[in-house]
């Protein structure tokens, strides 16, 4: 089951994605989503998803994903439209304080309002992918409520460009702001601690490196990603994935869904 990704013209959006599958092997099987510090919106047109035995909202958002999620399909039909918002991409659309909603899954209408139902219906009626993209581009262009400071956007971009391998001290020097100001901005615009955010971004970069370089030694990868030794690398990987990197390396996922049994 692969994700079909489409880039967006909106600078707040990483990409749109589309997933359709009727693979019986996914029925009641855990699908793991790794944390990446970004926001994932899902408009579900297939079977329900479950997490910890509870049915998830049909239209949902995982706000500033900071920990792994394990979900299951209620049956096996997967049919969804998704939007990957950048880490700073959620704040401009909502009225609620970010620190109240970060690192949680919410129903989309609780944050975006009643027009989410209309968006869902319009996408359901329109099966052509290009038309669906037009609908999504228009929706996320016209529903922006507020702007972000350029300095904060640049700072977040810097962290992601460096794959989390940059310290707060380095950021204070480069952007000529205090560590306390960075912490305040993170709390206000992202709702999370900057040090943990750096760790999550680095973890996700690790997962991508391990996935893309399955034959490289874990020792070389740990040094490449600025870990002092392999034991810290393994510990950090397990903290966010609940998997050992050696297991992940040997059991390569066949899609962006990490569907390992828990």
4 touches 133 (CB < 8 A): no
Collect the ranges in the chain with pLDDT lower than 70: 1-2, 23-28, 252-262
Q: What tens digit of pLDDT does each residue of 144-174 get?
A: 999 999 999 999 999 999 999 999 999 999 9
- Token pair recorded at residue 211: 């996935």
Q: What is the pLDDT of residue 25?
A: 60
Q: Which long-range contacts (CB under 8 A, 24 or more apart) does 122-128 make?
A: 123/43, 123/45, 123/81, 124/45
- How much is the mean pLDDT over the chain? 90
Q: What is the pLDDT of residue 74?
A: 87
Domains in the chain, CATH or no CATH each: 4-142 (2.60.120), 150-250 (1.10.10.60)
Query: Which single residue is written with the structure tokens 């966010």?
Result: 240
Q: What is the pLDDT of residue 8?
A: 98
259 touches 251 (CB < 8 A): no
244 touches 237 (CB < 8 A): yes
Q: What is the pLDDT of residue 255?
A: 57
Q: What is the pLDDT of residue 213?
A: 78
Query: Which single residue is written with the structure tokens 């922006």?
Result: 144
């Amino acid at each position: 089951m692969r994700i079909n990704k489409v880039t967006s013209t909106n600078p707040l959006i990483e990409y749109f994605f589309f997933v359709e599958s009727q693979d019986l092997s996914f029925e009641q099987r855990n699908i793991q989503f790794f944390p990446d510090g970004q926001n994932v919106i899902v408009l579900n047109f297939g079977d329900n998803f479950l997490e910890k035995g509870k049915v998830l909202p049909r239209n949902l958002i995982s706000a500033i994903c900071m920990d792994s999620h394990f979900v299951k399909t209620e049956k096996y039909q997967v049919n969804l439209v998704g939007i990957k918002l950048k880490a700073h991409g959620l704040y401009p659309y909502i009225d609620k304080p970010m620190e109240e909603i970060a690192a949680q899954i919410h129903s989309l209408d609780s944050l975006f309002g009643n027009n989410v139902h209309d968006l869902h219906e319009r996408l359901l009626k329109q099966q052509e992918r290009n038309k669906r993209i037009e609908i999504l581009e228009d929706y996320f262009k016209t529903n922006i409520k507020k702007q972000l400071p350029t300095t904060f956007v640049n700072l977040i971009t810097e962290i992601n460009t460096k794959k989390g391998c940059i310290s707060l001290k380095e950021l204070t020097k480069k952007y000529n702001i205090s560590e306390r100001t960075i912490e305040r901005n993170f709390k206000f615009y992202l709702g999370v601690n900057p040090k943990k955010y750096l760790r999550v971004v680095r973890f996700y970069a690790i997962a991508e490196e391990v996935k893309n370089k399955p034959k490289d030694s874990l020792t070389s990868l740990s040094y490449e990603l600025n870990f002092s030794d392999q034991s810290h690398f393994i510990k950090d990987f397990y903290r966010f994935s609940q998997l050992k990197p050696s297991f992940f390396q040997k059991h390569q996922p066949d899609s962006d869904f990490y569907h390992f049994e828990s």
